[in-house]
Chain A
Amino acid sequence: MHTALLLEMAAGAFPERTAVGSPRGGVTFEELAARARAGGAWLDEQDAVTVVFIGLNSATLPTLLFASAEIGKPFAPLNYRLPDEDLRRLLARTAPSIAIVDDDMIGRVEDVPGVLLAERSNFERACADPKYRSAPPPDADHDIAVLLFTSGTTGEPKVAVLRHRHLAAYVTSTVEFMHAEEDEAALVCVPPYHIAGVAAGLTATYAGRRSVYLPTFTPEAWVELAAAEQVTQAMLVPTMLGRILSVLEARGEWLPHLRSISYGGGRMPQQVVERAMALLPQVDFVNGYGLTETSSTVAVLTPDDHRAAMASSEPAVRRRLGSVGRPLPAVELEIRGPNGEVLPSGQSGEVYVRGEQISGEYLHKKVIQDDGWFATNDAGWMDEAGYLFVEGRLDDVIVRGGENISPGEIEDVLRQHPQVADVAVFGVPDNEWGERVACVVVAKGARPSTDDLAGLVKSKLRSTRMPEVWAFRDALPYNDTGKLLRRQLRAEMSAAEPATVGAAR
């Protein structure tokens, strides 16, 4: 089944409900379906295989997503924040394509071979044009739904392929059709080129929930939009939540309509979750773990899991606040060792997943196994009750003298220090041990002494976890979707002279 059918169903069941925007003046599900059909008919006239989007979040995003689905052309949102040269290089890889571009960005991407350009306002006009709105339904093959470029922190970005069947399976197995209450509204603030942004458009539609789009994220704008639109739920990446909490505290604004916050897309420091739960007691928190290649979420830590962990004095239950919860009912999950053997609970290995939503495929390269299992390249382990603890990318695990060390575990301890605002732990090459543990700290106020920090680590963790290289910086490098760029730090620190490392800024 294809994803445009999800919108057709919503428009059939609740035509008058607001799909996107404010309850007054927003776009209803019926209107969204009519726009998507018209937009699809217009796109179908263009001499292009792929439909690209370059621009900020707006109501155009779901329209374009469903319009592309309608006519069976892959939808490829690109990262407009990239430098022009990189953006143009990615765009060239989508040819033959048509790119719908925010009007004020079009100058950045002109004259790329094989790429037609249209301003976003032009596309919106076509969606309102009676000629296209009365076009007969297309007779299309529906195969590839979405192409997403990975963030490319390790090299040239790869293109993840999500087929209609993957996304439709994800939506229909996780969302109950039209179960949203009439007053529910989701605030979408992850960028259009993030899997969570794509998934949000699909799941909100199937649930019958209104969405409001934040053009570009700042914590102030987020809080203002959430208050003005009486937003009931939102998905955030880790760097966003802490910043939002600070704005809420400073303003004394507690968003009484807010019922649920989900977070994912990277490791969320446990302290931030605890702070959020204390500041917003009426809010349900959900941790969703997934990858682009898995059509978004494959495991969730539910609101009840959060509360049970928070209230427990049992360390094994309490620590589940730092887990990503348990696999979705339609997803199988295993932890495997280096030779592919399935590991028992408590042992760390690589996270494998299987299910109908798992694509595990890049353009020109399928990495999913014939039996359907996909190796996530994430390291993790499961506890006795099946809660998954993700330790980070497999490449980020520090291997010191044959022992695997998870950076996140050490970071969590260091964050408990009152003078630590942020911290990154990673491995640097070591002639004797293979790798040794390095650590970069962002101080909160006065810089803490390394003896003090070492004492904290020593009191909580085994001696092999003790960082041997310490450095202080004003800020850590993150990409724009909140992923810590550990590799960048590792490269910088590995290049630095050992003698100067301790004082590096």
Chain B
Amino acid sequence: MQLTPGSRWKSAVCSTEVVVVKGPKAEVALECGGQAMIAHAAAKPEGQKPAEAFSAGTQPGKRFADEDTGLEVLCTKGGQGSLAIDGRAITPKEAKKLPASD
């Protein structure tokens, strides 16, 4: 899958959506709920559910930066599945709260 910066992807098994902030160094599979994510414009298969091991859920606004692959994504819509790269679960960065300055 072409995870180019700015490209948008959605889960095949729940309502999760992400946007790629930084592409990976080499091609990887981005998954949600245990299945490869699909292009934002693509039709979603019906009747699918997240696999048990990848059902912790996603929340909009969470940012993921994977050190191993260099891939960075932002979750733009939450869902019941959780994200993984090539079968390896990834966790969001801790948010650092800054005071509003503009």
Identity of the chain B residue whose Cβ is nearest the Cβ of A300 in the assembled complex: B101
- Segment of B25-33, B45-53, B80-88, B90-98 in the binding face: B90-98
Rounded to whole angstroms, the CA-CA distance of A235 and B101 in the bound complex is 7
Question: Would A235 and B102 count as touching, CB distance under 8 A?
Answer: yes
| Across-interface contacts of B76 in A (CB, < 8 A) | 5, 8-9, 12
State the total of A-B contacts with C-beta under 8 angstroms.
84
Interface contact B77-A262, CB-CB below 8 Å? no
A177 CA / B76 CA spacing, docked (Å): 10
Cβ contacts under 8 Å, B20 to chain A:
1
Interface members, chain A 1-60 (any B CB < 8 Å):
1-2, 5, 8-9, 12-13
A264 and B102 form a contact (CB under 8 A): yes
- What CA separation (Å) do A296 and B98 show in the bound complex? 14
Quick one: CB contact mask for A219-237 with B, threshold 8 Å, 1 for yes?
0000000000000010100
How many residues of chain B have a CB within 8 Å of chain A? Answer: 21
Interface size on A, residues (CB 8 A): 43
Question: Judging by beta carbons under 8 Å apart, are A288 and B101 in contact?
Answer: yes
Q: Would A178 and B63 count as touching, CB distance under 8 A?
A: no
Contact (Cβ within 8 A) A329 B99? no
Q: Which residue of B lies closest to A170 (CB)?
A: B102
Chain A residues with CB under 8 Å of B21's CB are 1, 169, 172
CB neighbours (8 Å) of A300 from chain B are 98-99, 101
Are B100 and A199 interface neighbours, CB within 8 A?
no
For the complex of A and B, list the 6 residue pairs with the smallest distance between their C-beta atoms, beginning with the closest. Answer: A177-B61, A288-B101, A199-B102, A297-B101, A196-B102, A286-B99
| A–B pairs, 15, beta carbons within 8 Å | A5-B76, A8-B76, A9-B61, A12-B60, A142-B6, A165-B5, A174-B101, A175-B100, A176-B61, A176-B95, A199-B102, A262-B99, A264-B101, A286-B99, A300-B99
Binding site for B on A (CB under 8 A): 1-2, 5, 8-9, 12-13, 142, 164-165, 169, 172, 174-179, 186, 195-196, 199-200, 203, 206-207, 233, 235, 260, 262, 264, 284, 286-288, 290, 296-297, 300, 302-303, 328-329
